[in-house]
Amino acid sequence: MNDNATRPADQFSTTRWSVVLVAGQDPSPESAAALEKLCHAYWLPVCVFARRKGWSEEDAKDLTQQFFARLLERKDFSGLNAGKGKFRTFLLTAFTHFLANEYDRASALKRGGGRIIISLEQFSAEELGGLAPAEEVSPGTLYDLRWARAILQTALQHLKAEMCRAGKPELFDTFKPFLTDQAAAGEYAAIAAKIGVEAASVPVLVHRLRQRYRELVRAEVAQTVSSPLELEEEMHHLFAVLSQ
């Protein structure tokens, strides 16, 4: 099991969010880099939230860029403390206040100042297409759903990278569908014949890959909290969101 997947209590001082929290009056390059990585990971959830709040797609993108630009330009992190809790909840509260303050100035302001904080080229057409508001879903629920999907996608990318480094990219492509779905009758046997292993080996390989995937999901969530208790709470919330 990877050391980053299970974090003892004394290791939570090095998660990205904890690094930001402890910056206090003396922000460092490390805390700035940690915050930037968190902002990149949360761009889509925040933008989707703005869309569901009624902003047009272009306005939502501009507002999201400006929000993260201001967040990244902070010179003083003293307002952040362990009481702020999870990054997910901190960010949603901060962005909600930001939108409220921006409403009256929106028509007179070139939001984002023309700056590109997050390049939209990193997102697929499918992901950007998901910016359309889902009217039957509340803004907060949509934010959490996009957050959960982003966590899973990042973990999946890490898993693919690991298997590519191990020289097994084909196996990743073969087993990827079974990370979240059950195999139909005869599928494992067909895969066994394809990759040249015993039929009984395939479910074992799938089980190991699923286990590693869960570890990577947990490790990714751990980067956005500052204690073991918060990690367990976020994992529970993640599964609850995905089960809706």
pLDDT tens-digit readout, 167-221: 999 999 999 999 988 888 889 999 999 899 898 999 999 999 999 999 999 999 9
162 occurs within a structural domain: yes
- pLDDT of 113 reads 47
Q: Which amino acid is at 195?
A: I
Report the share of the chain in percent with pLDDT over 70: 76
Full residue range of the structural domain in which residue 66 is found: 9-112+135-242
Across the range 129-152, mean pLDDT stands at: 79
Q: How many domains does the chain have?
A: 1
53 occurs within a structural domain: yes
151 occurs within a structural domain: yes
- pLDDT of 3 reads 45
14 occurs within a structural domain: yes
pLDDT in tens, 44-58: 999 999 988 888 888
226 occurs within a structural domain: yes
Average pLDDT, the chain: 81
- pLDDT of 133 reads 54
120 occurs within a structural domain: no
Across the range 148-153, mean pLDDT stands at: 93
81 occurs within a structural domain: yes
4 occurs within a structural domain: no
- pLDDT of 112 reads 45
